[in-house]
Structure 1
Amino acid sequence: MKITDVETIEFKTYSTIHYSRWGYQYDFFGPKYEVISSLTRIITDEDVEGICLGGNKAVTERWIKPLLLGEDPLDREKIWQWMYSLTRWRVNERIIGVIDMALWDLAGKYFNVPVYKLLGGFRDRAKAYASSGPNLGTPEDYADHAEECRKKGYKGYKIHPYIFYDPVKQEPCPDTRTFPEWDIKICKAVRERVGDEMILTFDPWTVGSGGGYSFEEAVWVGRELEKLNFYWFEQPLLEDRIEPYIKLCQELRIPILAPEMSVGSFYTRAEWITRRAADMIRMECGLGGITAVKKCVDVCEAYGVKCELHGGGFEHLHILGATSPKICEWYERGLLGPRFDYEKPRPPLKKICDPMDNDGNVLIPQKPGLGMEIDWDYIEENRLEQCDKP
Structure 2
Amino acid sequence: MEITDVRAHHIRIPYDAGVASFRQGASAITALDMVLIEVLTDAGLTGWGDAFAYVCPRTTRSAVEEMIAPQARGMKVPDAAGIPAAMEQIQRNLHLFGRYGITMFAISGLDIALWDLAAKVQGVPLHRLLGETRRTAIPAYASLLRIGAPDDIAAECRKALALGYGAIKLHETTTPAVLAAREAIGPGIPLMVDMNCPLTAEQAIAFAASCRDARPMFLEEPVWPPEDFAALAEVRSKGGLGIAAGENACTEYQFRQMMEAGAVSHAQPSVTKVGGITEFLKIVALADRLGVKVVPHSPYFGPGLLATLHLLATREDGLVEMFYLKREACLWGGRADSDATGHVAVPTGPGLGHEPDRGVMEHYRVA
TM-score, length-scaled by structure 1: 0.80
Alignment of 1:290-301 (within 5 A): 290-301=277-288
TM-score, length-scaled by structure 2: 0.84
In structure 1, C-alpha distance between the alignment counterparts of 2:265 and 2:340, rounded to whole Å? 31
Q: Is the 8 A contact 2:115 2:351 kept in 1?
A: yes
* Aligned-pair CA distance for 1:137: 4.3
2:76 matched to 1:89? no
Counterpart amino acid of 1:77? P
Equivalent pairs counted in the alignment come to 342
Moved more, 312-321 or 349-358: 349-358
Residue equivalent to 1:198: 189
**Given the superposition, is the C-alpha separation of residues 97 and 16 from structure 1 closer, same or farther in structure 2, using an over 3 Å criterion?**
farther
Q: Is the 8 A contact 1:87 1:93 kept in 2?
A: no
Residue equivalent to 1:117: 128
2:338 matched to 1:356? yes
In structure 1, C-alpha distance between the alignment counterparts of 2:217 and 2:319, rounded to whole Å? 12
**Given the superposition, is the C-alpha separation of residues 15 and 124 from structure 1 closer, same or farther in structure 2, using an over 3 Å criterion?**
same
Residue equivalent to 2:262: 276
**Given the superposition, is the C-alpha separation of residues 229 and 309 from structure 1 closer, same or farther in structure 2, using an over 3 Å criterion?**
same
1:76 pairs with 53, 66, 83, which one?
A: 83
1:311-365, Cα deviation, whole Å (9 max, x unpaired): 231121111012231xxx211111x2xxx425x534xx14245322333222111
Residue equivalent to 1:180: none
Task: Give the 3-state SS of the residue equivalent to 1:309 in structure 2.
Answer: coil
Residue equivalent to 2:244: 257
* Aligned-pair CA distance for 1:368: 1.4
Alignment of 1:1-390 (within 5 A): 1-10=1-10, 14=14, 23-24=24-25, 27-28=28-29, 30=30, 38-54=35-51, 56-74=60-78, 75-85=82-92, 86-89=94-97, 92-120=103-131, 121-134=133-146, 136-161=147-172, 183-206=174-197, 212-238=198-224, 239-262=226-249, 264-285=250-271, 286-312=273-299, 313-325=305-317, 329-334=318-323, 336=324, 340-342=325-327, 345-346=329-330, 349-352=331-334, 354-380=336-362
**Given the superposition, is the C-alpha separation of residues 118 and 189 from structure 1 closer, same or farther in structure 2, using an over 3 Å criterion?**
same
- Structure number with greater CO (CA < 8 Å, separation at least 6) is 2
RMSD: 2.6
Q: Structure 2: give runs of 5+ residues left out of the alignment.
A: 52-56, 300-304
**Given the superposition, is the C-alpha separation of residues 316 and 353 from structure 1 closer, same or farther in structure 2, using an over 3 Å criterion?**
farther
* Aligned-pair CA distance for 1:152: 1.5
Q: Is the 8 A contact 2:68 2:106 kept in 1?
A: no
1:42-94, Cα deviation, whole Å (9 max, x unpaired): 11221111022448454344332332233222231122102222133266110
Residue equivalent to 1:388: none
Q: Is the 8 A contact 1:150 1:198 kept in 2?
A: no
Q: Is the 8 A contact 1:11 1:382 kept in 2?
A: yes
Residue equivalent to 1:178: none
How many percent identity over aligned positions? 24
Q: Is the 8 A contact 1:225 1:254 kept in 2?
A: no
**Given the superposition, is the C-alpha separation of residues 221 and 372 from structure 1 closer, same or farther in structure 2, using an over 3 Å criterion?**
same
Q: Is the 8 A contact 2:244 2:268 kept in 1?
A: yes
Q: Is the 8 A contact 1:246 1:278 kept in 2?
A: yes
Task: Give the 3-state SS of the residue equivalent to 1:123 in structure 2.
Answer: coil
Counterpart amino acid of 1:46? A
